[in-house]
Amino acid sequence: MLSKIIKFGSVGAMGSVTNLSIFTTLTFLDINYNIASILAFLVAVTQNYTLNKKWTFKDHDSKTRKKFIKYFILNFASFLINLLVLNIVILNLGDDSITKIIAQTLGIVVAMGFNFLGSYLVIFAKSKDNEEDE
């Protein structure tokens, strides 16, 4: 399980870089930070699903569409947590560019634990007999 957590964290880090790159670019282009966050989320969640399915959980099940829908719902819930943190930080600390980036980063970190548990226990769950312990 530790290797899965490490891989999940690595995929999450890559997704965070993707998310923050898109978010930062869009906010510097004067796109509303909530819209920028939504667009960044959509790209990052798709990237993370693909990497977690193939690498972290070694899921070769062909029911990708059904799992992606569940994964998207789980990640949407995490996104709402992220968005809540983003808005709370900005409302309390201001809306300058650096504060927005810090708030988005904090939101990503807060949502990560929820994401891992949901992915491990629900989306890519395997029976204990079939699970590989790496």
Q: pLDDT tens, 87-133? A: 999 999 999 989 999 998 898 888 888 888 898 898 888 744 444 44
Q: Is residue 132 part of a domain?
A: no
pLDDT at 83 over 70: yes
Look at residue 92 and tell me if it is in a domain.
Answer: yes
Residue 134 located in a structural domain: no
Q: Are the C-beta atoms of 90 and 108 separated by less than 8 Å?
A: no
Alpha-carbon distance values, 118 to 1, 99, 101, 114 (Å):
14, 29, 26, 6
The verdict on pTM exceeding 0.85 is no
Tell whether 113 is covered by a domain: yes
Q: Within its chain, how far is the Cα of 38 from the centroid?
A: 12
The token duo for 132 is 């590989």
Q: What is the mean pLDDT of residues 18-24?
A: 94
Indicate the number of domains in the chain. Answer: 1
Tokens of 107: 């939101």
More confident residue, 42 or 65: 42
User: What local confidence, expressed as pLDDT, does residue 24 receive?
Assistant: 94
pLDDT tens-digit map of 44-64 = 999 999 999 999 988 877 778
Quote the domain boundaries for residue 85.
2-123
Query: Residue 4 and residue 126: Cα distance in Å, rounded?
Result: 13
